[in-house]
Amino acid sequence: MRVLVTGGAGFIGSHLVETYLAAGHEVWVVDDLSTGKMQNVSPHAHFIQADIRDESVRELMVKERIEVVNHHAAQMDVRRSVADPLFDARVNILGLLNVLEGVRLAQCQRIIFASSGGTVYGEQEVFPATEDHPTRPISPYGVSKRTGEQYLHFYHVEHGLAYVALRYANVYGPRQDPHGEAGVVAIFIQRLLAGQPITINGDGKQTRDYVFVGDVAQANAAALYVDYSGPINIGTAKETDVNILAAHLQRIIPGTPDRSEYGPAKPGEQRRSVLAWDRAARILGWKPTTPLDEGLKRTEAFFRQ
């Protein structure tokens, strides 16, 4: 199969590229390298440096007869979206629309979209949240991801485009960027390995559902073939608060003192977030297989190297 991965030089996207290549697919990567890194890109993939809003991306899909698009290129920082919602919308909404027009022109079989179960539901009423939970995002990032799902539904109804919107929980693992605001696991690990204190925003009792990137890649592999269009949660159904996450990492990294510091809570962040994965099991045949401790150890080993 001829697969295009947008954002394929990034944290999650690069793992997907490797998974697709291992399965025997021919893979193209589009990435503007604003946050992605060339060292993440497999030499066996066709790499094109481009912004997802460029006309050249549409032309590429038609020229290369792309069959499936996996859309992971995005502005993915919740806090930046709060500070600059216009930028978030330009990348996440207008960028997706450009890609969707390319999909339509190239007559692709389907699109797999990286959505966000961690933000589209807003403050949850039910724990864990199923895909039928009301969507009331409390950040521009969450709004843009939910808007993306609605555009996908339009293209499905109007043009017959098959799509899967994978609503991720908090993805972590090797290659996560420790230099931004988004990857708390990577940020904590890098600081602890450097003997520096870690800063916990608010009281640290806010919870997240941490899912390992290798498990996420397997969900994307399964999504190539399903006869289904709609959202699917990709999470573990297990909540972990930030205080507990910090304690896990301080136990895993030998000789690490308890050096947690507390700062102010950040705007646009939910109090609790955890996702049910029953639909993923039923439709994709997928389940999370990497326990948090094991995933943290594998991530720590990557950063130590």
Q: Could you give the residue numbers annotated as active site? A: 141
Amino acid letter, 15? H
Find out whether 246 and 188 touch, Cβ atoms under 8 Å: yes
Ramachandran category for residue 93: left, alpha or beta (phi over 0 → left; psi -120 to 50 → alpha)? alpha
Alpha carbon distance 66, 20 (integer Å): 14
Please give the backbone phi and psi of residue 242, each rounded to the nearest 5 degrees, phi first.
-70, -35
Alpha carbon distance 92, 185 (integer Å): 24
Q: Taking Cα atoms as reference points, which of 55, 159, 153 lies closest to residue 99?
A: 55
Alpha carbon distance 120, 168 (integer Å): 10
C-alpha to C-alpha distances, 295 to 126, 197, 302, nearest whole angstrom: 26, 22, 11
Alpha carbon distance 238, 220 (integer Å): 21
Q: Taking Cα atoms as reference points, which of 234, 111, 117 lies closest to residue 161?
A: 111
